[in-house]
Every structure is written in C-alpha cells, then in structure tokens.
Amino acid sequence: MRTGPSWICSISAAVLSAIVGSALPQAFAGELSDSGPVAAHAPRADVSEAIYIIQGATLKASVEDANRVHATGVRRLEIIHAVAARLTASQAQQLSSRPGVRLFKDRTLSTSSLTSWFTSLLSPVTQPVYSTTGTIAAPVVTTLTPVLTPTTQAIAPVTYPVLTAATPIASPLVTPLLSPLTTSLSSNQSLQDGTGVGSSSLLYTTSYPMLVGADTLHQGGITGRGVTIAVLDSGLWQDPSQNFGPRLLASIDVVNGGTGRVTGDPYGHGTHVTSIAAGGAQDVSLSYSGIAPQANLVVVRAFDGQGGGRYSDVIAGLNWIVANKTRYNIRVLNLSFGAQPQSYYWDDPVNQAVMAAWRAGIVVVAASGNEGPNAMTIDVPGNVPYVITTGALTDNYTPYNGTDDRLASFSSTGPTFEGFVKPEVVAPGGHIAASMPSNSYLANIDPGSMSPGEQMFTMSGTSMAAAVTTGVVALMIQSDPTLTPDTIKCRLLSSARPAVTSKGTLAYSVFQQGAGLINAVSAVHSGATGCANVGLNISADLAGTQHFGGPANEDANGNFYIMNMSGSTWGSAASSDGYTWNQGYTWAQGYTWAQGYTWAQGYTWAKGYTWAKGYTWAQGYTWAKGYTWAKDQPWWTTSSSSAPATTPAPIVPWVPNE
C-alpha cells in the first residue's frame, strides 16, 4: 500500500512555486466567547513566542492565569474551560510551576496536502511536513523532536500517566501514487461492473448512496430534511448543482483566530466531504448524489488553503458549534481529520472538546485514519470511546457485485491504547466522487482526478467514509428526532453487516471492521437500545473523576483479543467471533457483507470499564510495548523549548485510490 512506482503529471512552475513556498500561518489573534467575538488583534508576536493552551479548573481561572504572566493573543476556549495564548519560554515556565494549571503546546494538524512530497524532493527535510486524511497520493518524511515527559498530575481517583521520552521515528519516504480517474455509476444505469464512463456524464452520478441503502430511504421521503449537519473542515465551495445555498444556515472561519463567515474552500477537502454527506445534486433519474441531500448545514472552517490547521482553531470551532447547537438545531458533526495520539484519550484537548459536544447531544462521527492495516493506528479524535469512528471499505470498482467488496487496506485499525475496539463501523471510502472546485489546491495538485466536464473529484480515505456515516445519522434523526447520541450509535452497530467468509465466519476481526458495513435502512428501522457506550460516564470523564478502558488486550505472542471482564476469569480471552486477531490477512480477497449476522456474545466489545479500578492487563503485559508515542511533533508539555509551533505536523497519510 505504501510502496510502488508512480508518476506525477506536469505541474506549472507557478503551482510548484506555491507548493514549495507556501506561507506559514498568520499571526494568531482574536478570541471567541459564548456572546460572540471579543478583542480584535493582538500585537505582532515575538518570534520566541509559541501558542499554548492553558487549562485551569474553570474558564475564569484560565483567563486569570494567562493575564498573570501577561500572555498575548488570549483566546477563550470555553468548551474545555481553557484559553489559547502566546507565551515565551519564561512565561510557559512560570505557568507550568503553578498548581492546577495544565499547559499544552498548540499542536498543528492538516487534512491533506502534497506539499511534503515536493519539499522533500527539492530540499533537505528540516521540519515536519503536511500529510493527509482525504487521499490521493501519499507519503511523508518527517524530522521529529523527542517527546518530552508530561508533568504528572493526580486527579482522584486517577493518576495521569507519565510517558517516557522515546526515540523519534521518521516516516518512511514513499513514492506518491496519483488516483486514477473513476466515475461511479447509478443503479439505474445499464453499464456493467468494471466498465468506465467514456465521456462526461454531467449527471453527478454516485454509487455510495446505493451501497448503504440511502437511496431506498430517499424514495420514501427520508432525506435529512430538518436536521442540521455541522462540518468542521477546510470550508465550502457552493457547487450550484448541490443546492447548498438555501440549506446553509451559518458558517464561521476560525482559522488563525478569525470570526468571519466562510467565503469558499481554497483547499477543497471540506467541499468534498460536505457533498458526500449532504450533496443535493440529482442525475437524470432524479437519484441524489449525497446521503442526506436535504439536510441543513453549518460549516466551520478550521483548516487553511494548504490543509493546515491547529488544535486551538479546531477547539474554537467545536466551541462555536456547541454554543450554537440549539440555534441551528445541530444534531450531527462530521470530523474528517485526525492526528496520532500522544496521550490517553481523556488528556487530549481536542478529545475533551469532542466529548463535550457528544455530551451536549451532538452525534460526532470521526474518521478512523488512513494508517492501516497495522493495529493500534486509530487517530485523534477517533480514539474517543464515545464517538462513532468509521473505517473504510472499497467496492473494488464493482458497485453492483457485493462479493468482491473488501476492507480498504489503508483503513486504520484498533484497538486504541486504552483497549477500546475501533472503528465501530465501516462505510464506503474507496474512489469516492464528490464536488470539488476546479481551482482548488487539491484539484491543481491532481488534475487527473477531476471528472471531465464536472466539478467532481475522486478521492479515497476514511474522511469519505466518515462523511457517508454522517449522512446516514442525519437520515436516522429525521426519522426519529428523539434519538440520543448513544442510541444512534447503538442502532448503527446493531444494524451493520459484518464481512463474512463463505463458511459464515467473520472475514475481519472486530478490531478491523467493528460491527461491519453501515445499513441506512436497517438503522432507521432498528429498535435497539443500550448496546453502545455501556459502562461509560462522559460527565465523570470530563470532570476528571473517572476514566475508562476498553476490553481489548494483547497477549505475549502479539495476538489482540477481547477480555472477559467479569467474575473469577476476569482478564482471560473471550474467544468467539472475531475477538482474537493476529493481524494476519490477505488484502486482495473480497467478501460478502452479511445480513442478519448474530454475534455469539453480543456487543461485549462495545463496553467500557473504569480505568481507576486497578486496571491490570492480563499476564502483566505492557500495553505500551507496541505503541510508539514519538511519531509526531511533541505538543503536551510544561517545559519544552519555546520554538514557535508554526509548522504543520503529520496526521493520516495520503493513500492511493482503492
């Protein structure tokens, strides 16, 4: 998946110059509060300053801590009772020594970019480079700084872990692969599987609504009408064919402290994701291109024109979404981005904000990541146990032949570091065609993936799979607006279809496919309850009084399994279904996604257990043995150097279309 030759088509000198010489993010300034924007721009920061997230017991305490050291560019992040601000090394040191203050160096993210590949070819690698979530091509080489040990803080009854310094591991150089041009077909067209479209269809025809059953619901009037989807990404280009205009209720651009409305999508990723979830274009047979074609939209731009973003911007965007939930009836939130974990899920500031959104009644759908097929590759915020984390499958370019469908090899795999099974479900994420402005960054980098005559772009990734799942959630909510996030997650799991072999056994472990491929029709008509987030307490998790682990473990031979968590056999393997997995799998094989599969032990793997309950792994196995914390830029610190956090850190890599 990460090897093999390929070629980049010719790119103009102007485009290449823009790629290599793209500007760093602008100076951080401004803030958001529940009552709207406050204080405009801070003075230009000194080069020795870096952005930090300052977290105290309350928002007021955090503001006072920032003011105490005369921090600049203070920005309120009410959702996690914190502020973001610029600090010098001396100021950071002062705050790190104060009891009750937690200090996080602002971490940078991106959705997708090829900047890194071109930069690595033209000059020595001296800084972290862009990587991706939406996918066309691959690869990155990264230079890393050793991860510093975070300060240990005790919060009854849990003591935060001390992560030891690790030797940095640079990502291997992988030759990028450009996506082949793929135009999906409608179930109403007569072309056979495996054939292409010889000329532009101009029909905005897609197959993913059919693959999850959304097209059947559309015919019955379930289209997402009245439900608002929030998309936090790189913006939105309003493709006239998608009819976004009357359905776009609000937007805000929070990049670098901004508070204005979204005026476009120079990068393109946000448009692609939004049109998958809620595209309203119709083909000649009046079939919709998107999953929830009449859902309302709220768009939050937190990633810039090259796909770069910051934790502080993402948290500010989440803050705005939760604050405006009631005003715009925001019921579901799509997060098609990620970063490699560098702490337990409950310590990560973005994860804290995501948990707050879930607690507020918003269903959060996250991409699992594009770093599969290896185990323990689930990204932040997909590693949050409460949210719906989505992996990707591919129809193998034959949408009407279900027997050769397979899990996409790039789809990130669980379990999480804390032992939770992720992803919970999978959805179509291979060679997904959706709207993209032809003048966007991505379209210019890979013009071959633009459909001739249409502003449609083909990408693969768990970003796309998450958007499909987001649309299905909107359909469920239209059908029954009383559903809670936990019940929606339960019904998605209970109605999903796992991949099975010809003998009726699971083709993939629960650590790879979760409950299986989502089924919109079955999910809408499901009556299941109480089968998701069992044993978890999100309020206690956010308060820091309890944290939770999942039932997964790894034995001394490298096999992952689900533990029996009750009685005298606590910690032993619950061996049934796909509960034991050694990572061995032939990725070229296709399988059928079975209806009506009965799990032998129900959803025992969808539960959580109190972390503070003397959580000891079976046979004294050291879980961290198989997990590298040094894969990314250090960001959780109270004493690191004051080098500005202005360069993008790698997240999920580009992958070729499958």
- The DSSP secondary structure of 508-526, one letter per residue, reads S-HHHHTT-B--HHHHHH-
Three-state secondary-structure class, residue 113: coil
| Size (the chain), residues | 658
> Which residues, in sequence order, are CB contacts of 566 under 8 Å at separation 6+?
none
Count Cβ atoms below 10 Å from residue 85 Cβ, excluding itself: 30
Catalytic residue chosen out of the listed positions 207, 463, 522, 526: 463
Three-state secondary-structure class, residue 252: strand
- Six-digit token pair at 234? 């790189």
Catalytic residue chosen out of the listed positions 65, 106, 215, 233: 233
The answer to whether the bond into 157 is cis (omega within 30° of 0) is yes
Cα–chain center distance at 297? 19
Name the residue with tokens 């937007």.
Answer: 251
For residue 269, indicate whether it is catalytic: yes
> Which residues, in sequence order, are CB contacts of 569 under 8 Å at separation 6+?
none
Give the number of C-alpha atoms closer than 13 A to the C-alpha of residue 379, restricted to the C-beta side.
31
Three-state secondary-structure class, residue 435: strand
Three-state secondary-structure class, residue 309: strand
Residue pair 345/339 in contact (Cβ under 8 Å)? The answer is no
Diameter over CA atoms, the chain: 70
Count Cβ atoms below 10 Å from residue 543 Cβ, excluding itself: 10
Beta strand pairing call for 50-55 and 102-105? antiparallel
Count Cβ atoms below 10 Å from residue 624 Cβ, excluding itself: 13
Integer Cα distance of 121 and 140 in angstroms: 11
> Which residues, in sequence order, are CB contacts of 620 under 8 Å at separation 6+?
none
- Range 232-257 burial, b when 16+ CB lie within 10 A, else e: bbbbbbbbebbbbeebbbbbbbbbbb
Q: What is the 3-state secondary structure (H, E, C) of 623-643?
A: HHHHCCCCCCCCCECCCCCCC
Residue 307's nearest CA partner among 153, 103, 133, 182 is: 133
For residue 480, indicate whether it is catalytic: no
Count Cβ atoms below 10 Å from residue 572 Cβ, excluding itself: 15
Integer Cα distance of 557 and 554 in angstroms: 8
Beta bridge partners of 561: 553, 580
Beta strand pairing call for 102-105 and 72-77? unpaired
Count Cβ atoms below 10 Å from residue 260 Cβ, excluding itself: 12
Residue 284's nearest CA partner among 373, 204, 359 is: 204
- Containing 570, the helix (H) or strand (E) segment is none
For residue 265, indicate whether it is catalytic: no
Residue pair 429/465 in contact (Cβ under 8 Å)? The answer is yes
- What single-letter DSSP state applies at residue 385? T
Backbone angle region of 577, left / alpha / beta, with phi > 0 → left and psi within -120 to 50 → alpha? left
Catalytic residue chosen out of the listed positions 62, 112, 215, 269: 269
Residue 364's nearest CA partner among 398, 397, 318 is: 318
Expressed in angstroms, the distance from the first to the final Cα of the chain is: 10
Please identify every residue annotated as catalytic: 233, 269, 463
